[in-house]
Amino acid sequence: MAKEVGIGRCSMRKIVREKLNLYPYRLQKAHALTDVMRKNRKKLCKQLLKRFAQSRFRTIVFTDEKLFTVDQVANAQNDRVLCRSITRANRKGRIVAKTAHPQCLMVWGDITSNGRTSLVFMNGGVKICRNVYKKKILEDVLKPWGDAHFGNSQRRLQQDSAPAHKAKVVQEWCKERLSNFKKHGKWPPYSPGLHPMDFSVWS
């Protein structure tokens, strides 16, 4: 902007901040939501407020999985290497290499208001399909842990609409064995701000 007007950057910054009282906010990425999606999210959020009133949210079991890669994560805007020359900076790690097919690891976990399971690490290259999710996650980890943690108290499983989660065999298993289970579609879509695994654990 300073170059377009033909003045120095410091002068432009001073005019923008002190004279115009403006602040240069960075662009932020977000989900592209249609009007239908917004309406659906609002409806489901209102239902959640009613369903989990009077501290009943404490019985929610939040579950999620995340894919981790071994490639270094670099923020071009904020990450810097302080050196006297670019040659030295390159030697000190300025160049962040990216591989076409980085090694990766799928990790699953769950948390509640007062507890958590151990993380489940899937073998390299294994994706959480419906059969793996049902056997390795629900049957081997979630159900035994939930029975020990909650006892006879009620619990409510929260899972997103990943293909493995909403598969018929998984939905039927959950309905038969988990109390207060709600079928997929009852959680507001594209709402990472509602899920503590997204903003508190994986981040």
pLDDT tens digit sequence for 54-106: 777 788 898 988 888 887 777 777 788 888 898 998 888 888 888 888 888 88
Domains of the chain listed by start with CATH number: 36-74+103-202 (3.30.420.10)
Instruction: Write down the pLDDT at residue 133.
Output: 92
HSE, CB side, 13 Å, CA atoms: give it for residue 38: 4
Contact predicate 156/147, CB 8 Å: no
The string of pLDDT tens digits covering residues 18-47 is: 888 888 887 878 778 889 988 988 998 888
The string of pLDDT tens digits covering residues 155-172 is: 888 888 888 999 999 999
Q: Is the dihedral of CA 188, 166, 148, 111 positive or negative?
A: negative
Instruction: Write down the pLDDT at residue 125.
Output: 67
The string of pLDDT tens digits covering residues 123-135 is: 776 778 899 999 9
Residues with Cβ within 8 Å of residue 189, at least 6 apart in sequence: 37, 40, 41, 161
* Between 193 and 102, residue with greater pLDDT: 102
Which percentage of the chain shows pLDDT scores above 90?
21
Instruction: Write down the pLDDT at residue 77.
Output: 76
Instruction: Write down the pLDDT at residue 23.
Output: 84
Instruction: Write down the pLDDT at residue 195.
Output: 81
Contact predicate 97/45, CB 8 Å: no
